[in-house]
Amino acid sequence: LAHLPMDCRVGKMLIYGAIFGCLSPMLSIVAALSTTKGVFLESNRNRQGAAQAKARFDDGAGSDLVAAARAFEAWDALEPRARRDFCRDNCLSPQSLDEVRSLRGQFLNHLAEAGFSLDAEAPSMSRRGGVELLKGLVCAGLYPNVVQALRTDRDRIMLRDRDGAQWFCHPKSVNFKAFGRANSRKTRYVAYSLRLHTTKSYLLDTTVVSPLAVLLFGGRLQLTYNRCGLVMDSWLSFKVTENAALCLCALRREIEAVLLRTVNGDGDRALGDSVLSTVSMLMGMLN
């Protein structure tokens, strides 16, 4: 990361994207995250239209970053003369989309200059399993910026950080309405880029991630022998069987070894591919 002239979170996401064969969509995600202003025009006058457009691009992914990246890729695939109407119809900023394209090129050049192998890969953001993998890699880059969604006594969901403080997804987020009344028994986590304190404490650029994504790409895991199974960074507890806990810890070590070998430019490519295929398969099973 020290050889990449960019924010360390951005660099980490790009490295993981290159390793897991989904560099192109990850370039769009980190470029959208790095723009001066967001790709959606969200003034008071067109707030509802922007929210609807963002929800269409998100398409259930639960990620502001995936929505922005999909909007860029849809815009980029059009003929130049069709882009103006597309931006108008979807409340998009042409200037920000141009900035995303420029940043993609800059980030790609930085990776090439740092010596990373930039193999071609198939698009991932249109497939459910591919989206889950991308969200996991976003979690890898943004961690420890993660909060846990907890069910309250009033059958609602609240977001808590490791210090116990309560947070809310920003009203402009695709996830703003997702954490009202609890309608699922699934444990969820939210990765975010920034915090904002106004009338409430808000999280910006949020991405809903699964427990598996946090386990594979989050902080340091410690194996326990009580009901928790695994504890991450002396904070997050995960109830898993002892066998599952041992397998997850072993897989984490393999992921980190592949990352280290890739950064150092050595190691058995076939062994690395088998580890990455296993991770991709596991993430692809999340629906």
pLDDT, one tens digit per residue, over 226-251 is 656 899 999 999 999 888 999 999 99
Rounded CA separation 218/242 (Å)? 19
Q: How far is CA 239 from the centre of its chain?
A: 23
Q: Mind listing the pLDDT tens digit for each residue in 26-70?
A: 999 999 999 999 999 988 788 899 999 999 999 999 999 999 999
Per-residue pLDDT, averaged over 179-194, amounts to 75
Rounded CA separation 133/281 (Å)? 9
Tokens of 220: 């340091």
Bond preceding residue 144 cis, omega within 30 of 0: yes
Q: What's the half-sphere exposure (Cβ side, CA atoms, 13 Å) at 44? A: 0
Q: Phi and psi dihedrals of 8, rounded to 5?
A: -60, -30
Rounded CA separation 70/74 (Å)? 6
| Prediction pTM value | 0.92
Q: Mind listing the pLDDT tens digit for each residue in 144-161?
A: 999 999 877 666 788 999
Q: What is the largest CA-CA distance in the chain?
A: 62
Model pLDDT, residue 6: 80
